[in-house]
Amino acid sequence: MARIPQDPQIRMTEILDTTEQLFLIRGYHKTTISDIAKKMGVAQGMFYYYFKSKEEILEALINRHVASVLSMIKTMPSFTRITPPQKIELVISSLVCSVRYKDSVLLNALFDEKNVHIKDKVTRQIQLSISTCLSTIIEDGMRTQHFQVFDPKIALDFILKFVDLLVEAMYAQMSEEQLSPRLKMAGTFIENVLGAQAGTINLKLQAKA
């Protein structure tokens, strides 16, 4: 068996990759710390050096996924050329659609009633990551007069609530017919919150650059 890399970041990435694979195959609850260590070919004690529990790995996987989506958006060639309303549209549509990542395995684990004790914590962490990106876009929109915002922080708080509602709708596995009016309504509300021109923020099930 190949020797496990000793670099801490490489080891943590390997743990996350292995766990994500097992969650997809066996499900969150049926995957144990022992399963993860065995799959990696390492002692179980090594695992606890990096993560204290399976819930902590779930948190790390979700945060990694959100960071990956935001990074992908920002590196799109078209991102710097589109307007602030289009950026808001792209970021929110991409994040909402991304919850279906790998059959929604991470979302289902997070919303599981047995994980209610970590859901609020993870949600706050996600909102913090999203807030940095959205705040920059809002500031740019105010500078370019695409947005007329009285209080950017309050506007951001409302937008995050809309994102939460859309994610919950995705978790409920609503059909496209059910989701479409919710996306349209959320887009209209966000336009109003930002003081944007009507029809400039059109949230989609499939985000496009």
CATH 1.10.10.60: which residues of the chain?
8-50
In the numeric block, the tokens 């922080």 are attached to 153
State the span(s) of the chain assigned CATH 1.10.357.
54-194
Tell me the whole-structure pTM to 2 decimals: 0.86
* Right CATH for 54-194 from 3.40.720, 1.10.3470, 1.10.357, 2.50.20: 1.10.357
Per-residue pLDDT of the chain (209 residues; tens, 9 = 90+): 455 556 788 899 999 999 999 999 999 989 999 999 999 998 888 888 999 999 999 999 999 999 999 999 999 999 999 999 999 999 999 999 888 887 788 888 888 888 888 888 888 888 999 999 999 999 999 999 999 999 999 999 999 999 999 999 998 888 889 999 999 999 999 999 999 999 999 999 865 44
Task: Provide CATH code, domain 8-50.
Answer: 1.10.10.60
3-state secondary structure (DSSP) of residue 128: helix
pLDDT digits (tens, 9 = 90+) for 123-163: 888 899 999 999 999 999 999 999 999 999 999 999 999 99
Type and span of the H or E element at 41: none
Q: Which residues contact 200 (CB under 8 A, 6 or more apart)?
A: 83, 85, 86, 89, 146, 191
Write down how long the chain is: 209
* Nearest residue to 190 via CA among 171, 166, 170: 166
Sign of the Cα pseudo-torsion (65, 162, 104, 203, in order)? negative
